[in-house]
Amino acid sequence: MDGKRRVIPVDSLLQLRQRLDRLPHKNPERATQVTAVAELYGISTATVYRALQILRKPHATHRSDYGKPRLLPKVELERYCELIAALKLRTTNKQGRHLSTGRAIEVMEDYGVETAQGLVKVPKGILHRPTVNRYLSLLKLDQPRLLREPPAVRFQAEHSNDCWQFDMSPSDLTRLWPF
């Protein structure tokens, strides 16, 4: 043997699978088909059976815990992300600069944040900057979305013959005009 790992091409495996599927389970022809493929590629019959098993298995696209935080419950992580977003929003200056996510995590770990429910202090090492940044964007709590003006909503009736009331009382602003 030349030391290289021999691999059966996928199309050969698929053809073998189709031939085996046409035969009954106890048919001795199945073993001869597998033996012929093993001899053709210079491998053992066990390798061919193993390759057929791997070919049939579906592959998961994500881990089983995909999208779930591993260190703490999702509700608690979302609460911490809301507090970090509030810290970043409160520290924004006129040039638009604000506290970084890493520094906001340090502030919450070292000093905590006073809320209506009391002091909230994060245990050290629980929050990581990439995780918090990902959840801030998933929860739509990142700076561009928080600072964006709400869209203008057009004032119109649902039906063309709806009746609307208007306040026609004199305004205080009319006294400012020199008329």
Please tell me the distance from the alpha carbon of residue 141 to that of residue 88, in angstroms, as a whole number. Answer: 10
Domain ranges of the chain: 10-56, 74-146
Residue pLDDT, tens place only, 40-87: 999 999 999 999 988 877 777 888 888 888 889 999 999 999 999 999
Residue pLDDT, tens place only, 108-126: 999 999 999 999 999 999 9
Contact 25, 11 (CB under 8 A): no
Confidence of residue 148 (pLDDT cuts 50, 70, 90): confident
Please tell me the distance from the alpha carbon of residue 65 to that of residue 68, in angstroms, as a whole number. Answer: 6
Please tell me the distance from the alpha carbon of residue 83 to that of residue 89, in angstroms, as a whole number. Answer: 10
Contact 120, 110 (CB under 8 A): no
**pTM of the entire structure?**
0.55
